[in-house]
Amino acid sequence: MLFLFFAIFLGAVLGVDPGKGWLYCVYQKEFRGARAAFWSFAANVFGIAVTTLLMLLPALIARSLGVMLHALLLVYAFGSIFHGALKLVFPNVHYRGSLKQGTRSVFVWSVVNSAWAGYGFPLGALLLLEGYTTFVAFLFVYAVFCALMFALCTKFGLMLAKKIWLNYDLFLSVFYVLFGSFTLFRTPFV
């Protein structure tokens, strides 16, 4: 049950975080229209999904075959701790992207930044510990919060986005370290 709360919490925080790309889509709406905003939002979400699924691929394969679950869980736990510590040391490092503002640039930006954000580490551990329901809960909560923030900021403009802007990198790095440590104590090898 605790891991379900972890998944819901992580989905809500990542969905609300403007640094995950929906703020750029709001800028696209302001300067280039609704069509450009929609396609940049779609490219952003697709880029995050591709990177996260690539990071989760070993967990999905191991879960379906039922092999190496404990060893892979240790890898995801240590990956979460290492990634969280790295983000504590370098909190505001982001790939700036190309100056060309096209859908392809948004996709590349999204892939690189979501790899740096390391969503796959805690999600892989959640998938191995709790199964697919926790993972689906994360995806649902993330999609709802991301779409909600995009819709609110598209409707009410950039002033709302500026009011809710926080630096989530420090917060997420502490969460990754705590989650990875907690996961280490749940593995049978420790």
Across residues 78-90, what is the average pLDDT? 83
- pLDDT at residue number 16: 65
Q: How many CB atoms lie within 10 A of CB 103?
A: 15
- pLDDT at residue number 161: 61
Interior/surface letters 130-169, b for 16+ CB within 10 angstroms, e for the rest: beeebbebbeebbeebbeebbeebbeeeeeebeeeeeebb
Measured CA to CA, the distance from residue 178 to residue 172 in angstroms comes to: 10
Across residues 55-76, what is the average pLDDT? 81
Q: Could you tell me if 112 and 20 are in contact, meaning their C-beta atoms sit under 8 angstroms apart? A: no
Q: Name the pTM for this structure.
A: 0.71
Q: How many CB atoms lie within 10 A of CB 129?
A: 19
- pLDDT at residue number 47: 81
- pLDDT at residue number 190: 47
pLDDT tens-digit map of 2-47: 667 777 777 777 666 656 666 667 777 777 777 777 787 788 778 8
Across residues 127-155, what is the average pLDDT? 74
Q: Could you tell me if 15 and 145 are in contact, meaning their C-beta atoms sit under 8 angstroms apart? A: yes
Give the distance from CA 77 to its chain's centroid: 16
Closest CA relative to residue 24, chosen from 109, 87, 90, 91: 109
- pLDDT at residue number 176: 82
Confidence of residue 1 (pLDDT cuts 50, 70, 90): low
pLDDT tens-digit map of 103-124: 787 788 778 877 777 777 887 8
Torsions phi, psi for 101 (to 5 deg): -100, 75
In the chain, where the domains are located: 2-186
Q: Could you tell me if 5 and 178 are in contact, meaning their C-beta atoms sit under 8 angstroms apart? A: no
- For residues 62 and 154, which has the higher predicted lDDT (pLDDT)? 62
- pLDDT at residue number 95: 61
pLDDT tens-digit map of 149-190: 777 766 766 666 666 656 667 777 888 888 888 888 877 654
